Amino acid sequence: MQLFSLEGKVVIITGGTGLFGKPMALALAEAGAHVVIASRQLAACESYAAQLTEMGYKASGAQLDLKDERSITGFVKQVLKDLGQIDVLVNNAVSREGFKNLDAMNKTEWENAQAVNSTGMMLLTKEVLGDMCRRGSGNIINIGSIQGAVGPHFPVYGETGMTSPVNYTYDKWAMVGFTKWIANYYGKWNIRCNCLSPGGYGPGVSEAFGETDFTRNYKRLTPLGRFAGDADIKGPVVFLASEASAYITGHHLLVDGGWTSW
């Protein structure tokens, strides 16, 4: 089990108070890491970090605006000043601003989403990689989606009016390519990069929509017959963050109950 230990590691997770962010931050802390929970909402990050600390884990909250390059550079410098190193970066934050179908999309909405989901992720990764290269060690985990592995299956939404936005598909496919580029270019510095892509997340879907055509169709079309829960995402992120996956890089790990297998 020592292979799965993150004792002595510093892990940054962006969007660490979101639906996937919370269980992943908890899992990384449970494995022994000091988890830096970062987002634009400082109070929420500090509150969740305090909860983890009260549970006996190591965590801190920090403000990070991925639309602001100065916020990104200042954030990384502060983490290095406070904790001395960055071992793992989990790029989990996502902006859903202006997510629409192509026929309803305009230039401003597209660019606003890209400012976080593409440019912001790139700038933060670049900043963190500077320290990782100096130390000759590091690990990047990008949180993608099944929409970065297959085309959207629009009939699954039924008559709900829900959709799979064009910019979300664009972002998540691009993330897989970004992952593979980082893995190949930075491997010589002993830096790994993988993409972890969950399928539909049960608690978030149920709370937002209840039982609909979409939830029924999704479960019917998923080989395991259900949505993902917290435990389903916790194990994979610890695996990729730890030495248990030391010889894995450039990989796209789908955690989707078999959705993409057909």
Decide: helix, strand or coil at residue 26. Answer: helix
Q: Which amino acid is at 50?
A: A
CB 196 within 8 A of CB 172: no
Place of tokens 């010889």: 247
Q: Is 170 a residue of the active site?
A: no
Sheet holding 88-91, edge to edge: 58-63, 34-39, 10-14, 88-91, 138-143, 191-198, 252-255
Rounded distance between C-alpha atoms, residue 251 and residue 143, angstroms: 12
Which of 57, 168, 170, 218 does the annotation list as catalytic? 168
Rounded distance between C-alpha atoms, residue 219 and residue 89, angstroms: 32
Which has the closest alpha carbon to 28: 46, 12, 48, 44? 12
Q: Is 226 exposed, middle or buried (0-12, 13-18, 19+ CB in 10 A)?
A: middle
Beta carbons within 10 angstroms of residue 78's beta carbon:
14
Q: Which residues pair with 88 in a beta bridge?
A: 11, 139
Rounded distance between C-alpha atoms, residue 90 and residue 142, angstroms: 6
CA dihedral 133, 243, 20, 234 (to 10 degrees): -170
Q: Which residues are catalytic?
A: 168
